[in-house]
């Protein structure tokens, strides 16, 4: 048995911080957590955290790429390359995300993901695939390609679902004809149904959650809040997210997509137990390029990078973020006054629960030893996967 003792760290659990904490890892699994010195361990290796924070690995459930790679490029190296990039910033598990595309391109994405997942690589774990589209509201399409947006039809989505057992999540506008039936089908299959790129009113959002939806895709972004229709005010999907206590939301806390006041409001209303921090990152994440492409190199569309975010060339809308997860955690602390332990929870324990990862996202006994060291600026200095050092600086 390989036993490692991590000592002299500020160990972050989902509920508190253990000063002068230790973590005992045995064969890639956390066996003990505490303060001071552990009991007799027998033969073991010792790692001194040097007073740094010792955190569970971050889990990003909505990312399109990074490091110059986009998953829609549909080659194994794009999945592995982006996974390597995000690992260096503390993300130990990712849920790669597609874009609205042709079915031929989507099928190739599913096939390529499965190859990439099971081939050895030195990046973040590839948990499963998130389909973002094509069943979206044209009014809130954001940067999604309008050529491929359409309503869900059982014969089409059942065929897509038959192509792969690696689909773990699907984002859909629930007000579309046929969307509620799709929500029920996803629930039956154990796939997370998420409402996004939607023009739904509040009542339609509540109905969606009665039909299997459980999550809101990038809360506030590409969805409506309260608005006037024929002079009367109608609550929107944003209000539905607040009204449903059990509703989980994901937020792009890159400091651009949502203002500080919204970050505070979401945290104070939903709490860390219902918020997932996501990057929604494009291929430029983790790089310093100024121009890039959203989607595949073959069929994608150009974007520009300025003010720390990706924009459409006409600057009419954001096209996605260029953030890494450690930046999200830092922003929640600095911009929204969220305690460190809760900011970390939103990037680890909560997304793990939302996606059904029962052995990840916590520094607790019997959990997988995906562990980070970082400083007070959330700059990551070491990343362990199953107790094995994969990145250090």
Do 145 and 101 contact (CB within 8 A), yes or no?
A: yes
Q: Assign domain 58-354 to its CATH architecture.
A: Alpha-Beta Barrel (3.20)
Q: What pTM does this model have? A: 0.97
Q: Are 334 and 7 in contact (CB under 8 A)?
A: no
Domain boundaries, the chain: 3-55+364-392, 58-354
Q: What is the DSSP code string of 191-242?
A: PEEEE-SB--BHHHHHHHHHTTEEEETTTTTTB--SEEETTEEE-BHHHHHH
- Size of the chain, expressed as the number of residues it contains: 393
Residue 171 β-bridge partners: 132, 194
> Quick one: CATH architecture of 3-55+364-392?
Roll (2.30)
Cβ(362)–Cβ(124) under 8 Å? no
Percent of the chain surpassing pLDDT 70: 100
192: left (phi > 0), else alpha (psi -120 to 50), else beta?
beta
Quick: pLDDT tens for 314-347.
998 888 899 999 999 999 999 999 999 999 999 9
User: How far is Cα 150 from Cα 130, in angstroms, rounded to an integer?
Assistant: 18
pLDDT over threshold 90, residue 23: yes
Neighbours of 151 (CB within 10 A): 14
Q: State the pLDDT at residue 312.
A: 87
Q: Summarize pLDDT for 352-388 with one digit per residue, the tens.
A: 999 999 999 999 999 999 999 999 999 999 999 999 9
Q: pLDDT tens digit string along 204-254? A: 999 999 999 999 999 999 999 999 999 999 999 999 999 999 999 999 999
């Amino acid at each position: 048995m390989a036993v490692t003792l991590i000592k002299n760290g500020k160990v972050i659990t989902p509920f508190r911080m253990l000063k002068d904490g230790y973590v005992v890892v045995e064969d890639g699994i956390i066996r003990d957590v505490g303060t001071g010195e552990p009991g007799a361990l027998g033969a073991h290796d010792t790692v001194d955290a040097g007073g740094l924070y010792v955190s569970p690995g971050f889990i990003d459930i909505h990312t399109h790429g990074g490091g110059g790679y986009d998953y829609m490029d549909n080659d194994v190296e794009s999945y592995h390359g982006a996974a390597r990039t995000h690992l260096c910033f503390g993300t130990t598990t990712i849920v790669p995300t597609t874009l609205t595309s042709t079915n031929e391109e989507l099928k190739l994405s599913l096939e390529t993901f499965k190859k990439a997942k099971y081939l050895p690589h030195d990046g973040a774990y590839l948990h499963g695939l998130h389909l973002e589209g094509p069943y979206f509201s044209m009014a809130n399409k954001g940067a999604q390609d309008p050529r491929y947006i359409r309503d869900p039809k059982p014969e089409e989505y059942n065929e897509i679902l038959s192509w792969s057992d690696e689909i773990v999540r699907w984002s859909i506008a629930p007000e579309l004809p046929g969307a509620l039936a799709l929500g029920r089908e996803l629930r039956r299959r154990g796939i997370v149904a998420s409402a996004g790129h939607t023009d739904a009113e509040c009542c339609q959002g509540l109905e969606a959650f009665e039909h299997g939806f459980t999550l809101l895709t990038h809360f506030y972004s590409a969805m409506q809040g309260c608005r006037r229709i024929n002079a009367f005010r109608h609550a929107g999907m944003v209000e539905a997210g607040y009204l449903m206590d059990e509703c989980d939301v994901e937020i792009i806390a890159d400091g651009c997509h949502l203002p500080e006041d919204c970050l505070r409001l979401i945290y104070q209303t939903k709490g860390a137990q219902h918020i997932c921090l996501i990057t929604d990152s494009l291929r430029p994440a983790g790089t310093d390029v100024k121009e890039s492409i959203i989607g595949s190199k073959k069929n994608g569309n150009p974007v520009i990078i300025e003010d720390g975010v990706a924009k459409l060339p006409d600057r009419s809308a954001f096209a996605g973020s260029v953030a890494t997860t450690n930046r999200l955690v830092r922003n929640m602390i600095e911009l929204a006054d969220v305690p460190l332990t809760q900011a970390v929870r939103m990037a680890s324990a909560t997304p793990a629960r939302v996606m059904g990862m029962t052995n990840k996202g916590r520094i607790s006994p019997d959990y997988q030893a995906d562990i980070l060291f970082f400083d007070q600026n959330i700059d990551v200095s070491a990343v362990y996967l199953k107790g094995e050092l994969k990145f250090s600086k």
